[in-house]
Structure 1
Amino acid sequence: MSDLAILSGAGALPVTLANAYPEAVRVVFHGVDHAMQAPLAQHRFEKLSVLFEDLKQRGVTRVVLAGAMSRPALDPTQLDPFMMRLAPRLMAAMQGGDDAILRLIITVFEEQGFAVVGAHDLLPEITVLDGVIAGPDPSDAQLADAGRATDILLALSPLDVGQGAVVSAGLCLGIETLQGTDALLRFVADTPEHLRRAKGGVLVKAPKRGQDLRVDMPAIGPETVRNAAAAGLDGIVVSSGKVVLLDRADTLKALNETGLFLLGQVL
């Protein structure tokens, strides 16, 4: 039995972790989509004390949160005493952005004696490395667009808005918000041509300044690449070592098929 528990949301990352750590406890939550296979430990957010007790009885000392997980719709009638005591802190955190909620989650697990580790700590190879990963070398103009997108993300970091921005010929065509990167790219794809100075553009993905990468590391995957291509972009620039590359083989295949470049940089 492993001392590790994978707290699963949707997507491929929890499955990748489970394949790499087959003895880990696989935790899924009521109302949260997931692709994990049995054996599963099923729990409710409203009854965290039951989750904590279960993990401790299984000998778990480390937890990793992986996969997309939207804010849960809590059922007040199901709240256990622990969640009732936590409610004021949770309500205060929910008035902020995702970072505030995630910081509270980390704090709560640490208060219960668990170490919160990042998926990249367990699988260092899943992050994008420095340099051109696929496609042609970006031009000076494309690098300038990436630099402007990076400046925009850094300026917005204190506001806890998003982890992605698109710039084309110096114009910001969109910023990632609560709806996510795919929604951002669909928005860019719908931008009328007369509002764009030129064809092309660059998507930049990077963590917010001071973001805790253990629970909310930015990620890109094959759908990101295909949606970027559909939006008429030339490539994607990410913060090297701080962005997860999901479904690596499929993502590289999508990059080769679309001709987009993927560049890792220290941002």
Structure 2
Amino acid sequence: MANPVEEQIGRLALIAGNGSLPGQIADALASEGREFEVIAIKGEANAATRHMAGVILGWGEVGRLYNFLKNNGCDDVLLIGGVTRRPDFTSIFGDFGTFRRLPSIFRALTGGDDSLLTKVIRLFEKEGFRVVGIKDVVPQLLASSGVLGNVQPKSKDWHDLELALKATEKLGELDIGQAAVAVGGRVIALEGAEGTDAMLVRCADLKNSGRVRNKGRSGVLVKTAKPGQDLRVDLPTIGPKTIELAVSAGLCGIAVEAYGALISNKEETLKKADSEGLFLIGIDGSSDAEEAGK
């Protein structure tokens, strides 16, 4: 039976930033026979993404972007991949379509990251497009509920998991970050603007310097969405590098929000976690962690 959400979605446009994720999504869509176009962001998209793209556009070519979408019958838009820098105001003076939209674009470039993402979505919606998320088109790339690999959490791991989960909830309330690490019954790191990878490097430094004294591997990384976070454009994500950094930090496992977190290079990530003896689990919330730990 067809997915009722998919039945409602028209021809899809992938507006692709950096990283390998745009290619993974394109492969998944192609395997399902889904029609789509790739628009690569100039200066962000990698060579593989640029090769599959129907057009490569810079920040000052908003008019060309909208024309391309309309000319190719793209009703729906998926914003995917990383963007390393926000364009400055001088970079958006491009074609006429950009110029006449400058007031809306200026407003979209102000505010914090969450504000920016929300305003970008509104820009597309104002033009008659619908912004969709990975959950709408390739939900198989998301973390499911329960233990995802072959390694099971031990009883001692559940307390750290629950503690780190509570920390992410507080972080989310303050709109600070998505991840936290707990080791030996205490939170040792909270994610800030540096991101999850840099936080894990910091955890490894704490262990190597003796500031975290637990012997052997212990501790859990938890990564969840912020309350009210728009999952169409800002999914919490882990991948093979996350596994490597968690192992370097001496952690036992990783917990992510079930159906609310993306696993990049999913097969490779799960295989690497298993080979490293690291558990990977999808949790539904604090109550789910509390029940599992009993």
| TM-score between the two structures when normalised by the length of structure 2 | 0.83
* 1:194 maps onto 2:204 in alignment: no
Please list the CA deviations of residues 173-195 of structure 1 after superposition, one character each: whole Å capped at 9, or x if unmatched: 21222222211111110114532
User: Secondary structure, in 3 states, of the residue corresponding to 1:6?
Assistant: strand
Alpha-carbon distance between aligned partners in 2 of 1:107 and 1:154, rounded to the nearest angstrom: 27
Partner residue in 1 for 2:246: 228
Greater displacement, 138-147 / 98-107: 138-147
CA distance 1:266–1:77, change in 2 (3 Å): closer
| 2:57 matches 1:38 | no
In the other structure, the counterpart of 1:89 is 107
Matched, 1:141 2:156: yes
Q: Distance in 2 between matches of 1:39 and 1:77?
A: 22
The match for 1:17 among 25, 39, 42 is 25
1:168 Cα deviation after fit: 0.5
Q: Kindly tell me: are residues 45 and 158 of structure 1, through their superposed partners in 2, closer, same or farther at Cα, counting changes over 3 Å?
A: farther
Q: CA deviation at 1:69?
A: 1.7
- Residues 1:27 and 2:39 aligned together: yes
- 1:103 and 1:57 mapped to 2: Cα distance? 25
**Residue of structure 2 in register with 1:51 after alignment:** 65
Q: Which moved more, 1:198-207 or 1:153-162?
A: 153-162
2:41 partner letter: F
What is the rounded CA distance, in whole Å, between the counterparts of 1:46 and 1:149 in structure 2? 42
Query: Whole-Å Cα distance in 1 between the matches of residues 272 and 89 of structure 2?
Result: 41
Query: How far apart are 1:32 and its partner, in Å?
Result: 1.0
Pick aligned residue for 2:117 from 89, 102, 119: 102
Q: Which residue identity does 2:196 align to in structure 1? A: T
Give how far 1:91 is off. Answer: 4.0
Unaligned residue ranges in structure 2 (runs of 5+):
1-9, 286-294
Which residue does the alignment assign to 2:292? Answer: none
Matches of 1:214 and 1:174, distance apart in 2? 27
Instruction: Output the CA distance in 1 between the equivalents of 2:139 and 2:190.
Output: 28
Query: In the alignment, what sits opposite 2:269?
Result: 251
AA aligned to 2:189 is G
Task: Report deviation, 1:78.
Answer: 4.3
Q: Which amino acid aligns with 2:256?
A: V
For residue 69 of structure 1, what is the amino acid of its counterpart?
V
Q: Is the 8 A contact 2:39 2:55 kept in 1?
A: yes
Partner of 1:156: 171
Runs of 5+ unmatched residues, structure 1 = none
Could you say if the C-alpha distance between residues 64 and 191 of structure 1 is closer, same or farther in structure 2, counting changes exceeding 3 Å? same
CA contact (8 A) 2:247 2:278 kept: yes
Is 1:8 matched up with 2:24? no
DSSP-derived class of the 1:120 partner = helix
The answer on 1:116 being equivalent to 2:116 is no
Which one is further off, 194-203 or 224-233? 194-203
Matched residue, 1:166: 181
Residue type of the partner of 1:132? Answer: V
C-alpha contact 1:45 1:74 (8 A) present in aligned 2: no
AA partner of residue 162 (structure 1): G
- Counterpart residue type for residue 23 of structure 2: V
Q: Give the whole-Å Cα distance in 2 for the aligned partners of 1:238 and 1:229.
A: 16
Q: Any conservation in 1 of the 2:39–2:53 contact (CA below 8 Å)? A: no
- How far apart are residue 87 of structure 1 and its match? 4.4
Q: Which amino acid aligns with 1:27?
A: I
Once structures 1 and 2 are overlaid, which stretch shifts more, 32-41 or 108-117?
Answer: 32-41
Change in Cα spacing, 1:135 to 1:196, as seen in structure 2 (3 Å) is farther
Q: Which amino acid aligns with 2:19?
A: G
Q: Name the SS of the counterpart of 1:61 in structure 2.
A: strand
